[in-house]
Structure formats: C-alpha cells, structure tokens
C-alpha cells in the first residue's frame, strides 16, 4: 500500500510547512520573503504549489503556473521542483513532475516547460533521460536598474 499523497498547499500553515524543503532549492529566501512571494504569485500569477507527502512528511515540493505565450501556446511553467536532499533517488521528483503533467493535460494545457540552473547537471540528466524533456533554449536575465 502506498503512503504517498500529493496535496495542494493553500493555507499559510501548509505553505510554511514546505519551506524547509523549498529552501534547499531557493537558498536565498528567508521565511518572510518566501511567504510573501508565494502569496503574491498565487494572487497575481495563478501560481499553484503542491507537496508530495510520504506519510505525514513532505518529501518533495513543486510550484507552477499555467501560462499562454506565442512561443509555447498554452503551457504550464514549472517554477520550482525540489526533492528533500535526504530523500532523493526514490522517484519522488518523477512522481511530482508527472502530477504536474497530468494537471496540465486535465486543464487543457499542451506542454510543460521549466528552466534549470547551469550547475544542476544531475537535474538536467533527470529531466532529459528520466522524464524525456528536450533542451530547447537558454534563459537569459538581467537586473533592472533602480
């Protein structure tokens, strides 16, 4: 019998429960900034956050948003995907990313896309080899002068 469940994180308490795992990916965030950004993204960008629980413990977290652009059409952008560093290589990331893909299909989105830091070679291998994602572009960014 599986002890794995995926739950959407909506309440402040649920979102804060995911912070220790999300902090492993978004190391620059403190609790206050994290909570503020999640709430603003939920309100303005339809950001959705889900956690994969093994029994009562969060083992992986994802945040994504449905989008429409001329390049991709209707798609889901995975903003965040992280498995607890002590729980990796157990299929949790695969299970959660498959959930996002199923959510996209059920909601009439045609694609799922994400970006991954250049240094994250293990993640790249996971996306390309295990999840069958194609490397299609580079992402560029700059700071807007204040």
Is pLDDT at 105 greater than 80 in this prediction?
yes
Distances (CA, A) of 87 to 21, 61, 71, 123: 10, 12, 35, 14
Is pLDDT at 5 greater than 60 in this prediction?
yes
When pLDDT is averaged across residues 19-34 and rounded to a whole number, the result is 97
Is pLDDT at 54 greater than 90 in this prediction?
yes
89 vs 64: CA distance, rounded Å:
22
Question: Beta strands 48-54 and 57-69: pairing type?
Answer: antiparallel
Between 7-11, 31-35, 59-63, 121-125, the lowest mean confidence (pLDDT) is in 121-125
Residue 1: the pLDDT is 53
134 vs 112: CA distance, rounded Å:
11
Residue 9: the pLDDT is 98
Domains of the chain: 4-115 (3.40.630.30)
């Amino acid at each position: 019998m599986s002890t794995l469940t995926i739950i959407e994180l909506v309440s402040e308490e649920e979102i804060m429960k995911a912070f220790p795992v999300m902090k492993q990916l978004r190391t620059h965030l403190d609790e206050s900034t994290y909570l503020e950004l999640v709430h603003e993204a939920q309100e303005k960008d339809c950001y959705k956050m889900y956690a994969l629980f093994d029994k009562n413990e969060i083992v992986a977290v994802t945040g994504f948003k449905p989008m429409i652009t001329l390049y991709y059409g209707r798609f889901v952008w995975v903003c965040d995907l992280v498995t607890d560093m002590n729980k990796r290589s157990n299929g949790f990331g695969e299970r959660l990313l498959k959930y996002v893909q199923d959510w996209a299909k059920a909601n009439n989105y045609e694609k799922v896309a994400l970006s991954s830091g250049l240094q994250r070679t293990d993640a790249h291998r996971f996306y390309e080899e295990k999840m069958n994602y194609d490397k299609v572009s580079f992402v560029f960014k700059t700071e807007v002068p204040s």
